[in-house]
Amino acid sequence: MPKRRPNNDGSIGRYKNGWRGQYTDPVTHRQRPVYGKTQAECKKKLDAKLTEIRSGSYVAPDKITVRAWLDTWFDTFYRRTVKASTAATTKGNIDKLSAALGDYSLQKLSTIHVQRFISKELDAGRKVSTVRRYLKALRQALEQARNTGKINHDPLRGIKLPTMEKAEIQFLSHAEQKAFLAACPSTTNGRALRFLLLTGMRVSELCGLQWQDIQADGLHIERSNMTIKDLQEDGYTNITTLPKTQAGKRIIPLTPQLRQLLEEQRIMQLRERLKAGNAWTGGNAGKDSAFIFANRIGNPSDRHNLNRVYRGILKKIGLPSRGVHTLRHTFATNWIQQSPDVVALARVLGHSDPSFTYRTYCHADQQSINQGMTMMEAFFANVK
């Protein structure tokens, strides 16, 4: 007969072809079992549970899956604490996690499970930065699981990721800018892309511009507009938000060239308003709260559509495919090549930290480097 264990120290006995231990759940005060093929194995599991209870790290058994917890975390703890655009992005990340890890029990999810997911994604050609975004969402969900007593371990502890190389910032050289401007179509999208190059605005800011933002002292940046995945229904929805920071709310001076471009867009929008008839949903065309760079029925331009048009132009002039954000990089590079005032540039771009502006957006093209070396050669020639 097995030796009796002290009070509050659980019990172990024969069970079918193996052994069963029992301990008292400190939350429900019910008896819970552990099993082992041998008495030693059973005792090890029982002692581990008792140690958790005494240390305060005990977590009651729960059959919730990773998928169910990710959904609970997103809907209950996360979605209402961030902007809609951030929530939509995170939802896409947890959908990816659910597809790969969702069937695992949350309490049994281990480091090896997560590491295998990482390896599979990298082998499929996924960028390290993309995998890190997946893991950021998983880390937040697991941290909440620990805080609410669902788990007492960290499945992300000990995972390994390749070093993330800093992506090379892309921008257009002087010659490429000339070719790009010449190839821009005389359409709303074409004028929008020219406007991005001439102002350095973010695409979402451009999509949110309204005619009332044009004032005597310049263009007032008051909002952003973007198309995101609809979390309530299938499909996509359009949202307008305030700038992320106080620095994002700013005034961009309007040069004669910019004012002319805006006037061309106003005339085009009035024509499109007449053509659209009852299908127009954009308010008073060419004024008030109507969007400046609207589509043919008055809705704000879509950043994804602008990206497609931009890449089409690049292909037409024989340049490699790049994202439309390169126009913002190009504007900043042009500024630095003409003026060393990074503080003013940061204000125009909507940055609160000028050093970030300099590190991130300022580059020298090969032509400028060649000119600099020629200048240095002339300097050292006079040193002799």
pLDDT in tens, 9-21: 678 999 988 999 9
Closest CA to 26 of 62, 5, 54: 54
Amino acid 232: pLDDT: 67
* Distance in angstroms (rounded) separating the CA atoms of residues 94 and 131: 12
d(CA 187, CA 122): 40
The predicted model gives 211-218 an average pLDDT of 95
**CATH code for 178-320?**
1.10.443.10
Q: Model confidence at 35, in pLDDT bands (50, 70, 90)? A: very high
Tokens of 114: 């997560």
pTM (whole model) above 0.95: no
Is the model's pLDDT at 2 over the cut of 70?
A: no
Domain 66-147 is classified in which CATH homologous superfamily? Tyrosine recombinase, N-terminal domain (1.10.150.130)
pLDDT tens-digit series, residues 219-257: 999 998 887 776 666 677 778 888 878 888 999 999 999
Helical pair 342-349 and 354-361, crossing angle rounded to 10 deg: 90
Q: What whole-number distance in Å separates Cα of residue 253 and Cα of residue 335?
A: 14
- How does pLDDT run across 61-76, given as a tens digit for each residue? 788 999 999 999 999 9
Looking at every residue in the chain, the average pLDDT score rounds to 88
* Of 50-59, 175-184, 277-286, 337-346, the least confident: 50-59
Cα 42 to chain center, whole Å? 47
Please tell me the predicted confidence (pLDDT) of residue 1: 47
What percentage of residues in the chain have a pLDDT greater than 70? 92
Domain ranges of the chain: 11-55, 66-147, 178-320
Rounded to a whole number of angstroms, the distance between the first and last alpha carbons of the chain is 102
